[in-house]
Structure 1
Amino acid sequence: MQTKRVTTLGKSPEIAVIGSGFSGLAASAVLAMHGSKVTVYEKNPEVGGRARTFAQDGFVFDMGPSWYWMPDVYDSFYQLFGNITADFYELKKLDPGFAVIFGAHEVMDIPAGFDDVCTLFESIEPGSAQKLRKFIAEGEFKYHVGMNDMVYKPGHSITEFFSFQLFKDAMKLQLFTSFSKHVRQYFKDPRLLALIEFPVLFLGAMPKDTPALYSLMNFSGLKQGTFYPMGGFGKVADSFRQIAENMGVNFKTSQNVEKLEIQKGTISHIHANGNSQQTDAVIGSADYHHIETALLEKNYRSYPESYWENRVFAPSCLLFYLGVDKKIEKLRHHNLFFDEDFEQHAVEIYKDKKWPANPLFYVCCPSKTDPSVAPEGCENLFVLMPIAIGLDDPEVIREQYYDALMDRLEKFAGEDIRSHLLYKKSYSTSNFVNDYNAYKGNAYGLANTLMQTAIFKPKLKSKKVSNLFYAGQLTVPGPGVPPSIISGRIAANELLKFLNR
């Protein structure tokens, strides 16, 4: 079943959406469903933003997202249009969900079943199974309150949270308790601490600077489970594009937006590739800082440059896409290499902002689950090392880290990999800048610190331009695919209110 477009407005407003990542795709589909005439402007040749894919030598590489958590967020979006997830792709629950590697002979496989996860914890730290159940129950409460009552709020004002029930619940969300301190009230073994804290490091901030609210991510990862969309994450982005096109959205790819023309505080035209198009409103789902500084004159910017300089950003990353001509027995689908010091790497990302001395890293091997992403008998590898934003990334540095990471990967695997490469491509900060206009090459947006949560994020509605709204990882709710989907929905709904005022 598919939802038909419905016109709730007197006429069909012309809406421009800048960027076709998940937030832009979600926003465009919702706006079109409600009767707007929507055009999406995408600077790259393909739709999908960071969730683009590319094919080479029989391999299909997901360029960005690889973790499918919070499946209910995807389900909820599809349901808006009368669809279910299975209409677009097969969703497979991974078992093990992922593996944490502490050394060549020390691997922690995270089972798909939560009872088995509790058994694993108990085997590592006696008494921790019961503590894990309590910890995850708290995370589940935060997840449901956050996802049902808080996360879909636009973050305009603190008054949005002025209901008695929400205020009462907010006390249990532990916004003012450090994630690091919270975790250490339950667990002591450094391996369990690393397992619990890894989502914060890879997507957030220093655990000590992150609110304990974000244990909701542990509920999703350890109890809901880790899933994989067969065919790769590109299938998910493609499903959003399909829905948008079904609603009548027009996609214009290879379109570089150069200027937003403003008359009396309102955008009148959008300029792309030398052409001008009239518009009634704009949703900027591309990089917030780029839209503000490159497309708007200074007097129309909501934030000065100093504002962005003082934000805490989630990591950028150094990526390698590798095609290997043999199977690698010891690898799982998701592999987290925590065989170096967690705290040191976190400090190098968030405090020192330098290339790390002994980094943690992550290897995704989707060909373990999905034969369609690699030729028969081959492996598709995605290697990711979190780094600080704004680092210079010349080829010599990329190669230095490639060899260092591969030394450790081959030591763990117990076999040679480098001499079996059929394909290799690197990607890092300068690529994020060139492809996505990402501020200082950021990969994930703003870190999840207390002063960058909810109302403290950059505002979804421009302070200076009446018909300009923002979506994506630099505004509410934050980094990651599910938050970006939600962001697009919020921005679309706020724009609809503006049009109907």
Structure 2
Amino acid sequence: MKQNNNNKRVVVIGAGLGGLSAAISLASEGFAVELVEKNDKVGGKLNIMTKDGFTFDLGPSILTMPHIFEALFTKVGKNMADYVGIEKVEPHWRNFFEDGTTIDLCEDPENQRRELDKLGPNTAAEFANFMAYSRKLGTETEAGYFAKGLDTFWELLKFYGPIRALNFDVFRSMDQGVKRFISHPKLIDILNYFIKYVGSSPYDSPALMNLMPYIQYEYGLWYVKGGMYGLAQAMEKLAIELGVSIRLNSEVEEIQYQAGKATGIKLQGGEVLAADIVVSNMEVIPAMDKLLHNSPAELKKMQRFEPTCSGLVLHLGVSRLYPQLAHHNFFYSDHPREHFDAVFHSGKLSDDPTIYLVAPCKTDPSQAPDGYEIIKILPHIPHINPDKPLTADDYWALRERVLAKLERMGLTDLRQHIVTEEYWTPLDIQAKYYSNLGSIYGVVADRWKNLGFKAPQRSKQLSNLYFVGGSVNPGGGMPMVTLSGQLVRDKILADLGQA
């Protein structure tokens, strides 16, 4: 531990994975850390609900890059396996198409080849070439952007140099990057939809996003034994062991500051918590608006950091099993370009959405009563547009389109077998998590708006205010927001001259 850090008081706003990671990482360096959360449990969007005998993971369903989480434990001489168990999911996911074709993504190379051979004799070779490209993107990104916490395009250029920086393929779209190697439309759709990890469009995001297949195949796809929320509970336990004070049901009203430095936070009810350093897990733009009370002109400077898509989230308990499902499943749109254009350009609910469906009982039957199954359904939809709001009837009509599509594609009589349901719209997501306009994944990856960069972790307004989570680099998704907490520790130590 660093000397004298126990005299420095850190307040972390929000106990999502980014906030938990920051609290753990700073406590491991000897800081006195207080973590303040408005909801009744830690985890942020990694949330849980029990209802009618079913246990629903309300947020993320896929764990990748477990080494990022393990680093929190090994840093302080602990073993993550003593806190939470994880197991690999195989196949990674199953892809369903309207013509009846199904293709699995598999970790085992021979199984993967057999699946790809369904699409023609050259498909496996094309896929191998694509994966070599994906690996190059991934390993380059890990070397600097992840390892060093590079926060801007100029920092990236300084670290990599102008020639090496071209390896990031930011001037092509993700879709164009895929099509350099892949000719079959179905495999193009499958690889394009890796963009779901960051809630963006493959037609707008930079081709750098093609690093995601490498990450999934290199580090595996995992499930947390007993339910995904167990990961948040493990991090909470570790934080408490390290001396982090956690306040639940405590909403922050403002960040107080003077002479360019944060002095603390004020809670609803008026209590003030003094701080030498403030870390916000609340997204950058909502924090600037609600906690710092920045002017519309200041907020406008951040408009390139547009929110990702939102989602219509259906958690269903059903009174039968669907054996054709894997743990993770995608039911593809017959019109992918139109689907993404609806979500990211016209702000409409897609007539034919691609649907992500999770059936966690395939791995963990204990999540539902015997003979029953959990079906989680997530089509991506536009974030909230205050100028052209969608109505409750609009969202309900999409629910019906989605369920009808799933029944048409093989989930026979799905609606007749629903025995319990939890239904969230973007308005619910915004109210629960204060995400920017109901965004699920933070800041959109768009090569024209931001080259795929998120907002910087250091505040430009206050010298001792930092941000973590999906709205800042390195971006959205469980491993990235957890990494952001570790990177913010590194930035704070560097700013204190301790790096």
Partner of 1:177: 172
More moved, 7-16 vs 262-271? 7-16
- Tell me the secondary structure at the aligned position of residue 315 of structure 2: strand
2:115 matched to 1:120? yes
Classify 1:370/1:179 alpha carbon distance in 2 versus 1 (closer, same or farther; 3 Å): same
In structure 1, distance between residues paired with 2:152 and 2:324: 50
In structure 2, distance between residues paired with 1:381 and 1:24: 29
Per-residue deviation, residues 459-487 of structure 1 (Å, max 9, x unmatched): 21111212111111111011111110111
- Tell me the secondary structure at the aligned position of residue 208 of structure 1: coil
Partner of 1:369: 363
Which structure 2 residues correspond to residues 25-174 of structure 1 after superposition, within 5 A? 25-103=20-98, 105-156=100-151, 160-161=155-156, 169-174=164-169
* Residue among 260, 274, 277 paired with 2:273: 277
How far the C-alpha of 1:337 sits from its partner, in A, is 0.7
2:471 matched to 1:474? yes
In structure 1, distance between residues paired with 2:110 and 2:356: 26
CA contact (8 A) 2:339 2:353 kept: yes
In structure 2, distance between residues paired with 1:277 and 1:206: 41
In structure 2, distance between residues paired with 1:10 and 1:194: 50
Classify 1:414/1:432 alpha carbon distance in 2 versus 1 (closer, same or farther; 3 Å): closer
Classify 1:306/1:272 alpha carbon distance in 2 versus 1 (closer, same or farther; 3 Å): same
Classify 1:487/1:103 alpha carbon distance in 2 versus 1 (closer, same or farther; 3 Å): same
2:293 matched to 1:261? no
In structure 1, distance between residues paired with 2:262 and 2:171: 39
In structure 1, distance between residues paired with 2:151 and 2:353: 38
CA contact (8 A) 1:202 1:314 kept: no
Per-residue deviation, residues 13-50 of structure 1 (Å, max 9, x unmatched): 11100011111010000111111111111111111000
In structure 2, distance between residues paired with 1:415 and 1:20: 40
The one-letter code matched in structure 2 to 1:411 is: R
Partner of 1:18: 13
Partner of 2:318: 324
How far the C-alpha of 1:456 sits from its partner, in A, is 4.7
* Residue among 194, 208, 211 paired with 2:206: 211
TM-score by length of 2: 0.92
The one-letter code matched in structure 2 to 1:293 is: D
2:193 matched to 1:198? yes
CA contact (8 A) 2:43 2:232 kept: yes
CA contact (8 A) 2:104 2:112 kept: no
- Tell me the secondary structure at the aligned position of residue 298 of structure 1: coil
In structure 2, distance between residues paired with 1:468 and 1:253: 21
How far the C-alpha of 1:109 sits from its partner, in A, is 2.0
CA contact (8 A) 1:288 1:470 kept: yes
What is the RMSD of the two structures over their aligned residues, measured on CA atoms? 2.3
Per-residue deviation, residues 283-309 of structure 1 (Å, max 9, x unmatched): 01112112111111437x9x7232344
How far the C-alpha of 1:232 sits from its partner, in A, is 1.7
CA contact (8 A) 1:393 1:430 kept: no
In structure 2, distance between residues paired with 1:193 and 1:36: 48
Classify 1:208/1:199 alpha carbon distance in 2 versus 1 (closer, same or farther; 3 Å): same
- Tell me the secondary structure at the aligned position of residue 214 of structure 1: helix
2:334 matched to 1:340? yes
How far the C-alpha of 1:263 sits from its partner, in A, is 1.8
Per-residue deviation, residues 333-391 of structure 1 (Å, max 9, x unmatched): 11101043111110011111112122111110101110221122211111101011115
2:290 matched to 1:294? yes
CA contact (8 A) 1:155 1:454 kept: no
How far the C-alpha of 1:174 sits from its partner, in A, is 1.8
In structure 2, distance between residues paired with 1:467 and 1:41: 17
What is the number of equivalent residue pairs in this alignment? 494
2:443 matched to 1:449? no
CA contact (8 A) 1:446 1:452 kept: no
- Tell me the secondary structure at the aligned position of residue 346 of structure 2: coil
Per-residue deviation, residues 181-218 of structure 1 (Å, max 9, x unmatched): 12112111110001110022562433232222222101
In structure 2, distance between residues paired with 1:9 and 1:411: 64
In structure 2, distance between residues paired with 1:36 and 1:490: 16
In structure 1, distance between residues paired with 2:422 and 2:361: 17
How far the C-alpha of 1:115 sits from its partner, in A, is 3.5
More moved, 383-392 vs 110-119? 110-119
* Residue among 394, 398, 401 paired with 1:397: 394
2:378 matched to 1:381? no
How far the C-alpha of 1:168 sits from its partner, in A, is 5.0
- Tell me the secondary structure at the aligned position of residue 107 of structure 2: coil
The one-letter code matched in structure 2 to 1:388 is: P
User: Which blocks of at least 5 consecutive residues in structure 1 are unaligned?
Assistant: 1-5
In structure 2, distance between residues paired with 1:414 and 1:261: 53
How far the C-alpha of 1:167 sits from its partner, in A, is 5.2
CA contact (8 A) 2:333 2:352 kept: no
Percentage identity across aligned positions?
25
How far the C-alpha of 1:225 sits from its partner, in A, is 3.4
CA contact (8 A) 2:204 2:448 kept: no
- Tell me the secondary structure at the aligned position of residue 413 of structure 1: coil
Classify 1:29/1:452 alpha carbon distance in 2 versus 1 (closer, same or farther; 3 Å): farther
- Tell me the secondary structure at the aligned position of residue 301 of structure 2: helix
Partner of 1:464: 461
* Residue among 431, 438, 442 paired with 1:434: 431
CA contact (8 A) 1:201 1:207 kept: no
The one-letter code matched in structure 1 to 2:458 is: K
The one-letter code matched in structure 1 to 2:443 is: L
How far the C-alpha of 1:455 sits from its partner, in A, is 9.3
How far the C-alpha of 1:162 sits from its partner, in A, is 5.5
